[in-house]
């Protein structure tokens, strides 16, 4: 037959076999001076904090973790219960709620309306700023001093304290033909940068509209280059050797300008953003 007592955990330690043991206070019918194995509820591992001590270094009664102490013949074991210091940092629970808590004002709370909140603070005390993530039947929320993120029926929204933000979701009520547009995404910030080996902008089907409108830009540069090449041939015919005294100065200048422009067009055509990926 197991005999039960209530006591306070004064010390915890792991033995040579990595088994957690606890030293309870010396109250009860028989003083206890050793440490005993700690038993846990299934799926929950707990190690009590050290108790508060007085000026002489002795544990203060009521200043540590309450424990249920069981004795079965010569076998003694300990089941940690609540710590009043931790419980004082928790919100008041409603009927039916469950709270899994830690020592630094941090906890996981299953609300009575289906929400699940994971909470901590910036300094581990009740005076710190709130940092929490909450899963609810109607969406997800993350909140901290440096920003907020929500994902629900209204879309995905993220805003940082710096002002950078991202919004995505559904749109409606637009007049025809814009009524075919059913969703949007918006990025905002002082600077934006995309790094990738391939960048394609445009519809998922059909011809993509590559970065910097490269398809029409490349076509325009090609047409201008063709015209300049023809003009260069005409100038060369007028100039002859190009520097003869009989060549009009204006033609010589024009020929040189056309040659320079033709070279620039050729270089630009080869470096149009994404031009090599356009189909």
Instruction: Name the maximum alpha-carbon separation found in the chain.
Output: 127
Using DSSP, state whether 235 is helix, strand or coil: helix
pLDDT tier at 275, thresholds 50, 70, 90: very low
pLDDT value of position 259: 79
pLDDT value of position 235: 74
Q: How far apart are CA 182 and CA 127, in angstroms?
A: 45
126 vs 209: which has the higher pLDDT: 126
Helices 214-239 and 249-270 pack at an angle, to 10 degrees, of 150
Render pLDDT for 79-104 as a digit per residue (tens, 0 to 9).
999 999 999 999 999 999 999 999 99
Residue bearing tokens 């090599």: 276
Q: Residue 277 pLDDT more than 50?
A: no
Q: What is the 3-state secondary structure (H, E, C) of 84-115?
A: HHHHCCCCCCCCCCEEEECCCCCEEEECCCCC
Q: How far apart are CA 57 and CA 266, in angstroms?
A: 85
Task: Report, as an integer, the average pLDDT of 237-264.
Answer: 70
Q: How far apart are CA 12 and CA 172, in angstroms?
A: 61
212 Ramachandran zone, left/alpha/beta (phi>0; psi -120 to 50): left
pLDDT value of position 239: 67
Q: How far apart are CA 268 and CA 132, in angstroms?
A: 52
Rounded to a whole number, what is the distance in angstroms from the first to the last CA of the chain? 82
DSSP conformational letter for 59: B
96 Ramachandran zone, left/alpha/beta (phi>0; psi -120 to 50): left
User: 9 is written with which tokens?
Assistant: 């955990």
Asked whether 99 and 109 are in contact (CB, 8 A), the reply is yes
Torsion angle, CA of 226/228/230/233, rounded to 10 degrees? -140
pLDDT value of position 205: 67
Render pLDDT for 196-236 as a digit per residue (tens, 0 to 9).
887 777 666 665 555 555 666 777 777 887 888 888 777 77
Q: Whole-number mean pLDDT of the chain?
A: 84
Could you name the CATH architecture of 98-169? Single Sheet (2.20)
pLDDT tier at 2, thresholds 50, 70, 90: confident
221 vs 77: which has the higher pLDDT: 77
């Amino acid at each position: 037959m197991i005999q039960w007592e209530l006591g306070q955990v004064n010390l915890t330690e792991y033995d040579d076999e990595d088994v957690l043991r606890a030293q309870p206070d010396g109250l009860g019918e028989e003083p206890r001076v050793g440490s005993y194995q700690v038993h846990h509820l299934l799926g929950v591992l707990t190690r009590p904090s050290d108790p508060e001590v007085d000026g002489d270094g002795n544990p203060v009664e009521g200043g540590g973790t309450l424990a249920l102490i069981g004795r079965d013949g010569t076998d003694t074991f300990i089941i940690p219960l609540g710590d009043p210091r931790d419980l004082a940092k928790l919100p008041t629970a409603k009927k039916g709620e469950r709270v899994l808590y830690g020592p630094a004002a941090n906890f996981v709370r299953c609300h009575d309306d289906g929400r699940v909140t994971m909470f901590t603070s910036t300094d581990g005390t009740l005076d710190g700023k709130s940092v929490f993530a909450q899963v609810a039947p109607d969406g997800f929320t993350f909140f901290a001093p440096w920003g907020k993120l929500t994902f629900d029926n209204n879309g995905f929204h993220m805003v940082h304290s710096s002002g950078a933000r991202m919004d995505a979701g559904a749109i409606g009520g637009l007049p025809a033909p814009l009524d075919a547009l059913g969703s949007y995404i918006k990025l905002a910030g002082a600077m934006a940068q995309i790094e990738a080996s391939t960048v394609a902008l445009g519809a998922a089907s059909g011809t993509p509209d590559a970065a910097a409108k490269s398809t029409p830009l490349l076509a325009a540069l090609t047409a201008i280059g063709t015209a300049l090449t023809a003009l260069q041939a005409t100038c060369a015919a007028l100039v002859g050797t190009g520097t003869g005294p009989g060549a009009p100065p204006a033609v010589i200048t024009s020929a040189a300008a056309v040659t320079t422009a033709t070279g620039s067009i050729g270089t630009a055509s080869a470096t149009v953003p994404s031009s090599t990926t356009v189909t």
